[in-house]
Amino acid sequence: MSDTRAKTLTTAAADAVREAAGDAFVAPRLGLVLGSGLGGLADSVEHATAIPYADLPGFPVGSVVGHAGRLVLGTLEGTPVVVLQGRAHLYEGIPASDLAVPTRTVRALGAETLVLTNAAGSLNPEAGPGELMALNDHINLMGANPLMGPNDDAIGPRFVGLGDAYDLDLRTALHAAAEAEGIDLHEGVYLAVAGPSFETPAEIRAFKVLGADAVGMSTVPEVLVARHCGLRVAAVSAITNLAEGLGAEVLTHEHTLQNAARAAEKLQRVLRRFVKDLA
Protein backbone atom coordinates (compact mmCIF):
# COMPACT_ATOMS: atom_id res chain seq x y z
CA MET A 1 0.00 0.00 0.00
CA SER A 2 1.30 3.36 -0.93
CA ASP A 3 0.35 5.55 2.00
CA THR A 4 -0.60 5.53 5.64
CA ARG A 5 -4.22 6.20 4.84
CA ALA A 6 -4.70 2.82 3.18
CA LYS A 7 -2.86 1.17 6.08
CA THR A 8 -5.14 2.65 8.70
CA LEU A 9 -8.24 1.86 6.66
CA THR A 10 -9.00 -1.63 7.90
CA THR A 11 -12.49 -3.01 7.51
CA ALA A 12 -13.90 -6.24 8.90
CA ALA A 13 -14.85 -7.15 5.34
CA ALA A 14 -11.23 -6.79 4.16
CA ASP A 15 -10.13 -9.10 6.99
CA ALA A 16 -12.77 -11.62 5.92
CA VAL A 17 -11.51 -11.49 2.32
CA ARG A 18 -7.90 -12.06 3.43
CA GLU A 19 -9.01 -14.96 5.57
CA ALA A 20 -11.08 -16.55 2.78
CA ALA A 21 -8.19 -16.27 0.31
CA GLY A 22 -5.66 -17.63 2.81
CA ASP A 23 -2.25 -18.29 1.30
CA ALA A 24 -3.60 -17.32 -2.12
CA PHE A 25 -4.12 -13.71 -1.00
CA VAL A 26 -2.43 -11.15 -3.20
CA ALA A 27 -3.20 -7.46 -2.66
CA PRO A 28 -5.25 -6.19 -5.61
CA ARG A 29 -3.94 -3.26 -7.63
CA LEU A 30 -7.34 -2.47 -8.96
CA GLY A 31 -10.96 -2.63 -7.89
CA LEU A 32 -13.61 -3.19 -10.54
CA VAL A 33 -17.32 -2.65 -9.88
CA LEU A 34 -19.60 -4.38 -12.37
CA GLY A 35 -23.09 -2.88 -12.69
CA SER A 36 -26.48 -4.15 -13.86
CA GLY A 37 -26.14 -6.88 -16.47
CA LEU A 38 -22.38 -6.26 -16.71
CA GLY A 39 -21.12 -8.90 -14.29
CA GLY A 40 -19.76 -11.34 -16.87
CA LEU A 41 -16.19 -10.13 -16.59
CA ALA A 42 -16.02 -11.61 -13.08
CA ASP A 43 -16.10 -15.08 -14.67
CA SER A 44 -12.77 -14.32 -16.37
CA VAL A 45 -10.95 -13.77 -13.08
CA GLU A 46 -8.28 -16.42 -12.56
CA HIS A 47 -7.11 -17.89 -9.25
CA ALA A 48 -10.45 -16.64 -7.97
CA THR A 49 -11.71 -16.50 -4.42
CA ALA A 50 -15.41 -15.59 -4.60
CA ILE A 51 -17.33 -14.48 -1.52
CA PRO A 52 -21.05 -13.58 -1.40
CA TYR A 53 -21.64 -10.08 -0.04
CA ALA A 54 -23.84 -11.65 2.65
CA ASP A 55 -20.67 -13.22 4.11
CA LEU A 56 -18.77 -9.91 4.27
CA PRO A 57 -19.37 -7.92 7.49
CA GLY A 58 -20.95 -4.54 6.84
CA PHE A 59 -21.45 -5.12 3.12
CA PRO A 60 -24.85 -3.89 1.96
CA VAL A 61 -26.64 -6.67 0.10
CA GLY A 62 -28.66 -5.53 -2.89
CA SER A 63 -31.71 -7.32 -4.17
CA VAL A 64 -31.91 -6.21 -7.79
CA VAL A 65 -32.21 -8.73 -10.61
CA GLY A 66 -29.06 -8.67 -12.74
CA HIS A 67 -26.72 -8.18 -9.77
CA ALA A 68 -24.89 -11.28 -8.54
CA GLY A 69 -23.75 -9.78 -5.22
CA ARG A 70 -20.32 -11.26 -4.70
CA LEU A 71 -16.72 -10.17 -4.36
CA VAL A 72 -14.17 -11.96 -6.53
CA LEU A 73 -10.46 -11.67 -5.74
CA GLY A 74 -7.91 -12.95 -8.22
CA THR A 75 -6.06 -11.93 -11.35
CA LEU A 76 -7.30 -10.49 -14.63
CA GLU A 77 -4.86 -10.37 -17.54
CA GLY A 78 -2.16 -11.10 -14.98
CA THR A 79 -3.04 -8.11 -12.76
CA PRO A 80 -4.24 -8.68 -9.18
CA VAL A 81 -7.80 -7.37 -8.98
CA VAL A 82 -10.81 -7.34 -6.72
CA VAL A 83 -14.08 -7.44 -8.63
CA LEU A 84 -17.37 -6.41 -7.07
CA GLN A 85 -20.01 -8.20 -9.09
CA GLY A 86 -23.13 -6.15 -8.49
CA ARG A 87 -23.81 -3.30 -6.11
CA ALA A 88 -26.41 -2.09 -3.65
CA HIS A 89 -28.33 1.11 -4.43
CA LEU A 90 -29.88 3.98 -2.52
CA TYR A 91 -33.27 3.14 -4.03
CA GLU A 92 -33.23 -0.19 -2.22
CA GLY A 93 -33.52 1.79 0.99
CA ILE A 94 -29.89 1.25 1.90
CA PRO A 95 -28.46 4.18 3.89
CA ALA A 96 -25.89 6.18 1.94
CA SER A 97 -23.26 5.60 4.64
CA ASP A 98 -23.56 1.81 4.19
CA LEU A 99 -22.71 2.23 0.51
CA ALA A 100 -19.23 3.33 1.63
CA VAL A 101 -18.24 -0.14 2.84
CA PRO A 102 -17.48 -1.93 -0.46
CA THR A 103 -15.34 0.94 -1.78
CA ARG A 104 -13.42 1.26 1.51
CA THR A 105 -12.87 -2.49 1.48
CA VAL A 106 -11.30 -2.25 -1.97
CA ARG A 107 -8.95 0.41 -0.62
CA ALA A 108 -8.23 -1.50 2.59
CA LEU A 109 -7.25 -4.56 0.53
CA GLY A 110 -4.53 -2.42 -1.04
CA ALA A 111 -5.98 -1.24 -4.36
CA GLU A 112 -5.05 2.23 -5.57
CA THR A 113 -7.46 2.46 -8.47
CA LEU A 114 -11.21 1.90 -8.76
CA VAL A 115 -12.94 1.30 -12.10
CA LEU A 116 -16.70 1.69 -11.93
CA THR A 117 -19.23 0.51 -14.50
CA ASN A 118 -22.95 1.05 -14.72
CA ALA A 119 -25.96 0.86 -16.99
CA ALA A 120 -27.22 4.31 -17.90
CA GLY A 121 -29.64 6.21 -20.08
CA SER A 122 -28.14 8.56 -22.66
CA LEU A 123 -29.05 12.19 -23.29
CA ASN A 124 -26.86 12.19 -26.37
CA PRO A 125 -28.64 10.60 -29.36
CA GLU A 126 -25.25 9.79 -30.92
CA ALA A 127 -24.46 7.55 -27.95
CA GLY A 128 -27.42 5.19 -28.20
CA PRO A 129 -28.22 1.76 -26.74
CA GLY A 130 -25.24 -0.60 -26.77
CA GLU A 131 -22.68 2.23 -26.81
CA LEU A 132 -20.06 2.94 -24.15
CA MET A 133 -19.39 6.29 -22.46
CA ALA A 134 -16.34 7.13 -20.31
CA LEU A 135 -17.36 9.53 -17.56
CA ASN A 136 -15.40 12.75 -17.16
CA ASP A 137 -17.51 14.36 -14.42
CA HIS A 138 -20.78 14.03 -12.56
CA ILE A 139 -23.77 15.95 -11.25
CA ASN A 140 -25.11 14.57 -7.97
CA LEU A 141 -28.89 14.94 -7.75
CA MET A 142 -29.31 11.90 -5.49
CA GLY A 143 -29.98 14.09 -2.48
CA ALA A 144 -27.51 11.99 -0.52
CA ASN A 145 -23.78 11.70 0.09
CA PRO A 146 -22.20 8.71 1.86
CA LEU A 147 -19.63 11.05 3.45
CA MET A 148 -22.28 12.85 5.51
CA GLY A 149 -21.91 12.32 9.25
CA PRO A 150 -18.83 12.33 11.46
CA ASN A 151 -15.58 12.26 9.47
CA ASP A 152 -12.82 9.75 10.22
CA ASP A 153 -9.66 11.77 9.54
CA ALA A 154 -7.68 8.53 9.36
CA ILE A 155 -9.61 7.63 6.20
CA GLY A 156 -9.74 11.00 4.48
CA PRO A 157 -10.38 14.73 4.85
CA ARG A 158 -13.68 16.28 5.96
CA PHE A 159 -13.97 18.23 2.72
CA VAL A 160 -13.07 16.37 -0.45
CA GLY A 161 -12.13 18.14 -3.67
CA LEU A 162 -13.78 16.76 -6.81
CA GLY A 163 -12.10 18.89 -9.48
CA ASP A 164 -10.28 15.86 -10.84
CA ALA A 165 -12.53 13.08 -9.55
CA TYR A 166 -12.39 11.19 -12.86
CA ASP A 167 -8.67 10.65 -13.37
CA LEU A 168 -7.41 12.04 -16.68
CA ASP A 169 -4.62 9.48 -17.10
CA LEU A 170 -6.99 6.58 -16.50
CA ARG A 171 -9.50 8.05 -18.93
CA THR A 172 -6.78 8.44 -21.54
CA ALA A 173 -5.87 4.79 -20.97
CA LEU A 174 -9.51 3.79 -21.40
CA HIS A 175 -9.68 5.60 -24.73
CA ALA A 176 -6.44 3.95 -25.84
CA ALA A 177 -7.81 0.53 -24.87
CA ALA A 178 -11.08 1.18 -26.73
CA GLU A 179 -9.24 2.33 -29.83
CA ALA A 180 -6.99 -0.73 -29.78
CA GLU A 181 -10.13 -2.88 -29.68
CA GLY A 182 -11.84 -0.86 -32.46
CA ILE A 183 -14.66 0.15 -30.12
CA ASP A 184 -16.22 3.63 -29.98
CA LEU A 185 -15.93 5.17 -26.53
CA HIS A 186 -17.96 8.32 -26.02
CA GLU A 187 -17.24 10.67 -23.15
CA GLY A 188 -19.52 12.72 -20.95
CA VAL A 189 -21.05 13.87 -17.68
CA TYR A 190 -23.08 11.41 -15.59
CA LEU A 191 -26.06 12.75 -13.69
CA ALA A 192 -27.07 10.59 -10.71
CA VAL A 193 -30.62 10.36 -9.42
CA ALA A 194 -31.78 8.28 -6.45
CA GLY A 195 -34.38 6.33 -8.44
CA PRO A 196 -36.03 3.85 -8.49
CA SER A 197 -38.42 5.54 -10.89
CA PHE A 198 -37.07 6.49 -14.28
CA GLU A 199 -37.09 10.19 -15.09
CA THR A 200 -39.92 12.23 -16.58
CA PRO A 201 -39.42 13.81 -20.01
CA ALA A 202 -39.36 17.24 -18.31
CA GLU A 203 -36.60 16.10 -15.97
CA ILE A 204 -34.53 14.86 -18.89
CA ARG A 205 -34.99 18.21 -20.70
CA ALA A 206 -33.83 19.95 -17.50
CA PHE A 207 -30.83 17.60 -17.11
CA LYS A 208 -29.82 18.33 -20.69
CA VAL A 209 -29.72 22.05 -19.87
CA LEU A 210 -27.64 21.25 -16.78
CA GLY A 211 -25.00 19.57 -18.95
CA ALA A 212 -25.72 15.87 -18.45
CA ASP A 213 -24.82 13.29 -21.09
CA ALA A 214 -25.95 10.19 -19.20
CA VAL A 215 -28.33 9.50 -16.33
CA GLY A 216 -28.34 6.66 -13.83
CA MET A 217 -28.96 5.56 -10.25
CA SER A 218 -25.50 4.51 -9.04
CA THR A 219 -21.75 5.15 -9.21
CA VAL A 220 -21.62 8.64 -7.67
CA PRO A 221 -21.69 7.34 -4.06
CA GLU A 222 -18.70 5.12 -4.87
CA VAL A 223 -16.84 7.97 -6.56
CA LEU A 224 -17.29 10.19 -3.50
CA VAL A 225 -16.08 7.49 -1.10
CA ALA A 226 -13.22 6.53 -3.39
CA ARG A 227 -11.91 10.07 -3.70
CA HIS A 228 -12.22 10.52 0.07
CA CYS A 229 -10.00 7.49 0.78
CA GLY A 230 -7.53 8.30 -1.98
CA LEU A 231 -8.49 5.88 -4.75
CA ARG A 232 -8.02 7.04 -8.31
CA VAL A 233 -11.26 6.65 -10.26
CA ALA A 234 -12.31 5.74 -13.78
CA ALA A 235 -15.92 5.06 -14.78
CA VAL A 236 -17.70 3.76 -17.86
CA SER A 237 -21.43 3.72 -18.60
CA ALA A 238 -22.95 1.05 -20.77
CA ILE A 239 -25.76 2.90 -22.48
CA THR A 240 -28.94 0.84 -22.36
CA ASN A 241 -31.47 3.36 -23.66
CA LEU A 242 -32.02 6.89 -24.78
CA ALA A 243 -33.27 8.83 -21.76
CA GLU A 244 -37.03 9.30 -21.33
CA GLY A 245 -38.59 11.45 -24.03
CA LEU A 246 -35.65 11.10 -26.41
CA GLY A 247 -36.53 7.68 -27.84
CA ALA A 248 -39.65 5.68 -28.64
CA GLU A 249 -39.00 2.76 -26.30
CA VAL A 250 -40.80 2.15 -23.02
CA LEU A 251 -38.24 2.04 -20.19
CA THR A 252 -38.21 -1.05 -17.98
CA HIS A 253 -35.52 -2.79 -15.94
CA GLU A 254 -35.80 -5.89 -18.19
CA HIS A 255 -35.11 -3.64 -21.14
CA THR A 256 -32.11 -2.19 -19.29
CA LEU A 257 -30.69 -5.68 -18.71
CA GLN A 258 -31.25 -6.76 -22.31
CA ASN A 259 -29.44 -3.76 -23.69
CA ALA A 260 -26.70 -3.96 -21.06
CA ALA A 261 -25.90 -7.37 -22.50
CA ARG A 262 -25.36 -5.69 -25.90
CA ALA A 263 -22.80 -3.34 -24.40
CA ALA A 264 -21.30 -5.86 -21.99
CA GLU A 265 -19.24 -7.71 -24.57
CA LYS A 266 -17.63 -4.45 -25.75
CA LEU A 267 -17.12 -3.27 -22.19
CA GLN A 268 -15.36 -6.52 -21.29
CA ARG A 269 -12.97 -6.16 -24.20
CA VAL A 270 -12.13 -2.56 -23.30
CA LEU A 271 -11.62 -3.37 -19.62
CA ARG A 272 -9.47 -6.45 -20.28
CA ARG A 273 -7.24 -4.41 -22.56
CA PHE A 274 -7.17 -1.55 -20.04
CA VAL A 275 -6.11 -3.91 -17.24
CA LYS A 276 -3.53 -5.59 -19.46
CA ASP A 277 -1.98 -2.25 -20.44
CA LEU A 278 -1.90 -1.21 -16.79
CA ALA A 279 0.37 -4.13 -15.93
Tell me 246's DSSP state. T
List residues with catalytic annotation: 36, 67, 89, 91-92, 119, 217-218, 241, 253
Nearest-approach distance from CB 259 to ligand HPA, in angstroms: 8
* Encoded amino acid at 236, one letter: V
Nearest-approach distance from CB 13 to ligand HPA, in angstroms: 27
Binding status of residue 243 toward ligand HPA by CB under 6 A: yes
- Alpha helices of 52-182 — where are they, by DSSP H? 100-108, 168-180
Residue 132's φ and ψ, nearest 5 degrees, are: -115, 145
Nearest-angstrom CA–CA distance, 145 and 111? 22
Nearest-approach distance from CB 99 to ligand HPA, in angstroms: 16
Taking CB under 6 A as the binding criterion, the range among 66-74, 129-137, 177-185, 236-244 that sits at the site for ligand HPA is 236-244
Binding status of residue 31 toward ligand HPA by CB under 6 A: no
With respect to ligand HPA, which residue has the nearer C-beta, 18 or 255?
A: 255
Which residues 6+ apart lie within 8 Å of 107 measured at CB?
Answer: 6, 9, 31, 114, 226, 229, 230, 231
Task: Map the footprint of ligand HPA across residues 111-170, applying CB under 6 A.
Answer: 119-121
Nearest-approach distance from CB 244 to ligand HPA, in angstroms: 6
**Binding residue (CB under 6 A) for ligand HPA from 105, 113, 124, 240:** 240
Nearest-angstrom CA–CA distance, 256 and 233? 24
Give the residue closest to ligand HPA by C-beta.
Answer: 121
Binding status of residue 86 toward ligand HPA by CB under 6 A: no
Which residues 6+ apart lie within 8 Å of 59 measured at CB?
Answer: 13, 53, 71, 101, 102, 105
The footprint of ligand HPA (CB under 6 A) covers 119-121, 198-199, 215-217, 240-241, 243, 251, 256
